[in-house]
Amino acid sequence: MVSIANRRSMMLLYSDYDSPIGHAVRIVLAEKDVNVEINYIGEDDTKPEELNELNPYNSILTLIDRDLVLYDEQIIMEYLDERFPHPPLMPVDPVTRAGNRQLRFRVMQDLYSVLDDLKGDNDIAAANAKKELRDNLTAVSPSFTQMPFFMSEEYTLVDCCMAPLLWRLTQYGVKLPTSAKPLQQYADRLFERDAFKESLSPTEKEYNETV
């Protein structure tokens, strides 16, 4: 495995075209302005033999940096933040840093976890997932009247995880209530970032005509 990865001098990311968590990783890369080769793989594409050898979980999202191969999205994002420290996307002190990790865990558990049902063929499960996603997002909306980013004055990895979800709400058929206006304003701030615009795949650009 190491010998395969070592053949490359430039960082390489395998990503699909429209997975929100793959998009989050690409946002981090864009925020850091990393020189990276991105290989997109569609649902009907045959995965490269190299990827099958490097990733034991048969998933697409994989980062290769010389002899290092990573395939967990949270590990990838933290590695990139430590490997390329500017601009920092995690707090420096251990307590706040742990809080940032906890928030990302909550985002994955409370928001990302419903996406399979939301996009699945079971209409009842999809409707329940849509409602759960809408309700959870609406519940956190008031926090954005106090801080510009997710529980923070600074843009962090939590925001990198939130942006892809918010960008896809129309595609998911999720309409937020008027009480969630602070959340929508937060989403607009995320979408206006140059790194967000640069991170979009050709498929993701079609989700919203305004960027």
Does residue 202 have a pLDDT over 50? yes
Share of the chain above pLDDT 90, in %: 84
CA distance 40 to 17: 6
Instruction: Please determine, looking at this structure, whether the domain spanning 94-193 carries the CATH number 1.10.357.10.
Output: no
Nearest-10 crossing angle of helices 20-32, 73-83: 0
Contact partners, residue 29, CB within 8 Å, separation at least 6: 13, 36, 38, 80, 199
| Summary mean pLDDT of the chain | 92
pTM: 0.92
Q: How far is CA 166 from the centre of its chain?
A: 10
Q: pLDDT tens digits for 21-35?
A: 999 999 999 999 999
Does residue 185 have a pLDDT over 90? yes
Share of the chain above pLDDT 70, in %: 94
Number of H helices, E strands in the chain: 12, 4
Does residue 130 have a pLDDT over 90? yes
Does residue 8 have a pLDDT over 80? no
Does residue 55 have a pLDDT over 50? yes
Domain ranges of the chain: 2-83, 94-193
Q: Which CATH superfamily is domain 2-83 in?
A: Glutaredoxin (3.40.30.10)
**pLDDT at residue 45, rounded to an integer:** 78
Q: How many CB atoms lie within 10 A of CB 167?
A: 21
